[in-house]
Amino acid sequence: MIRFDNVSKRYGSGQDALSRVSFDVASGEMLFLTGHSGAGKSTLMKLIMLMERPTQGQVLIDDRNLNRLSRRHIPYFRRKVGVVFQNHQLLFDRSVFENVALPLQIAGYQAGEVGRRVRAALDKVGLLDKERHNPIMLSGGEQQRVGIARAVVNKPPLLLADEPTGNLDPELSADIMNLFEQFNDVGVTVMIASHDLSLLKRMNKRVLGLSGGQIVHDGVLA
Amino acid sequence: MSPRRPLPRTAPKPPPKPRPKGASQSRTRLADRLDSWQAHHSTTAVESLQRLFRTPLQSLLTWLVVAVAVALPAALYLVLNNIQNLGYSWQDSGQMSVFLIEDVRPEAIDALLASLNEDARIDQVSHVPPNDALEEFKAYSGLGRVLQGLEENPLPDVLLIRPATNNPDALGELRETIAAEPLVAEVRLDMAWVRRLQEMMALGQRVVLALATLLALGVLLAVGNTIRLAIENRRDEILVVKLVGGTDAFVRRPFLYTGLWYGLGGGILALVLLGAGLWWLSGPVARLADLYQSDFRLRGLDLTESLQLVLLSGVLGLLGAWLAVARHLIQIEPR
């Protein structure tokens, strides 16, 4: 599903965010990405989302070389990748329902289908009763769940999450992780960036450890 | 959009497809996409208009800027138009006077009148016999006593011709034709006056065109700048939309509609301004015209011209928005 082939990324400032990173993620896998801030986690995620382009090497998603994807095709590619952000990236000028509906409206679903899918996604994250609320009225954990609902509403085959539990207490974190596992159970490839070591150990999944822009660990944490 | 609103169905719902085990990227059928594309256009159009009404003062200011910029050249155009109309109604005084040679037999004059009447370039011909002319001259010149001392009538037969055209070249040609008649001694036509009016109108039209071009540029910049601010205000939304796969066209759409609304609204407001100005002036103008025994009245824009004005203004708004969007949206990329 994801393949990094000797990928390097150097920013304009001359700083190497990633250098010669190679790894494979099979379809239907769930894995974590860890490392200190500045280790390259975010850059790696951004390369998958085509928010950045590699300076060197190739990123293949679903056997598709992202280097060959023109700017015009980026939106259509992004529809196949669900992303959960640490700061939620919710829009506070509209309801929870409308936030979650956004990817479907963009993808051109009929209004009836949009309603059905949004409610299914909100039901999944346990927020069906809050669909008319403004997200600003929700707690941090609830906002994160709205973000997750929005990321999965289009049923993407790949789900990325950048520090999804960063600001949450352990109990809420466990809830959120549980959700991700459920998506993984139905075949979604899930990749989560987190620096919460205790969480990584508890989850007992493959972990990619990044340091200084290089992969220093690949496997289940001991 | 309220989630509980009854949902319009324009196409039959596709039968539920058997879903393969596991998550799948669901595809939408082309017909559904077209429907929803259309639906997005109409909801975006309505939403962007509602958005404008949510900040009424700011929107009104932009509408006024557009309206003034559109109304000004339109008003000048109307002034020119009215002067031209006035010119046409004066055309009577610029008619051709054809002086005949002395001692022409009445039958010959009748024959000439008949042949002139058949000329398509001539609207009307009338014959003023020397005696009538003298009477008229006595009555209006104030020289009645002096003229009474005359032993014989010095005035020739005169034909007054109202040409069917006011094109200076055609008038010149007509004049030549008539002057070539053997009975005609002289043809008088105030060509200079007609030409001057025409040239002044041509000049005026150029000035209006130049001014209209400048002000159209002003509308583009004003709408463009307003849209630029709107883009800045909705930066977060644009980022999120781009992140979840919104195409450039999708992101552009609401701003283009906003520009269109600014333009159309400004155009309608310009019509109102023009109408008010016309109403304000029409009373005095009518009274002035009455004093000159003229039935001249101010003429406003007709329906077609009004529609054209609003449409043109709408296009300007759309173009202004397009400029702003092309320049600024591309700079907002998720980082």
Looking at per-residue pLDDT, the higher value among B334 and A117 belongs to A117
Q: A75 contacts in B (CB within 8 Å)?
A: 242, 245-248, 250
Sorted by sequence, the CB contacts under 8 Å of residue A96 that are 6+ apart come out as: A122, A127, A130, A131, A132, A133, A134, A135, A138, A146
- Report yes or no: A56 and A7 within 8 Å, Cβ to Cβ: yes
Q: Which residue of B has its CA nearest to A150?
A: B244
Which residue, among A86, A110, A152, A185, would best test binding to B if mutated, counting the most B CBs under 10 Å from its CB?
Answer: A110
* Residues of chain B contacting A, Cβ within 8 Å: 1, 3, 7-9, 11, 13, 21-26, 28, 32-33, 35-37, 39-40, 236-237, 239-248, 250, 333-335
- Report yes or no: B230 and B255 within 8 Å, Cβ to Cβ: yes
Closest CA to B182 of B98, B97, B300: B98
Minimum distance, in Å, between the CA of residue A146 and any CA atom of chain B = 14
Q: A188 contacts in B (CB within 8 Å)?
A: 22-23
Band of residue B155 on the pLDDT scale cut at 50, 70, 90: confident
Angle between helices B248-291 and B191-233 (to 10 degrees): 150
Band of residue A23 on the pLDDT scale cut at 50, 70, 90: very high
pLDDT, average across residues B130-134: 83
Angle between helices A111-124 and A96-107 (to 10 degrees): 130
Residue-level pLDDT at B12: 47
pTM, rounded to two decimals: 0.73
Distance CA(A165)–CA(A174), nearest Å, equals 9
Is the CB of residue A95 less than 8 Å away from at least one CB of chain B? yes
The pLDDT tens digits for B246-259 are: 999 999 999 999 99
Asked whether residue A163 carries a pLDDT value surpassing 60, the answer given is yes
Residue-level pLDDT at B126: 85
Question: Cβ contact (<8 Å) for B32 and A89?
Answer: no
Distance CA(B252)–CA(B322), nearest Å, equals 8
Q: A123 contacts in B (CB within 8 Å)?
A: none
Distance CA(A59)–CA(A9), nearest Å, equals 11
Band of residue A29 on the pLDDT scale cut at 50, 70, 90: very high
Distance in angstroms between the alpha carbons of the first and the last residue of chain A = 26
Distance CA(A198)–CA(A200), nearest Å, equals 5
Average pLDDT, chain B: 83
B103: left (phi over 0), alpha (psi -120 to 50) or beta: left
Which residue, among B244, B251, B329, would best test binding to A if mutated, counting the most A CBs under 10 Å from its CB?
Answer: B244
A155: left (phi over 0), alpha (psi -120 to 50) or beta: left
Sorted by sequence, the CB contacts under 8 Å of residue A3 that are 6+ apart come out as: A23, A24, A25, A58, A59, A60, A61
Integer-rounded Cα Rg, in Å, for chain B is 34
Band of residue B91 on the pLDDT scale cut at 50, 70, 90: low
ipTM of the complex: 0.89
- Exposure on the CB side of residue B288, measured as CA atoms within 13 A: 8
Asked whether residue A210 carries a pLDDT value surpassing 60, the answer given is yes
Is the CB of residue A134 less than 8 Å away from at least one CB of chain B? no
Distance CA(B143)–CA(B314), nearest Å, equals 64
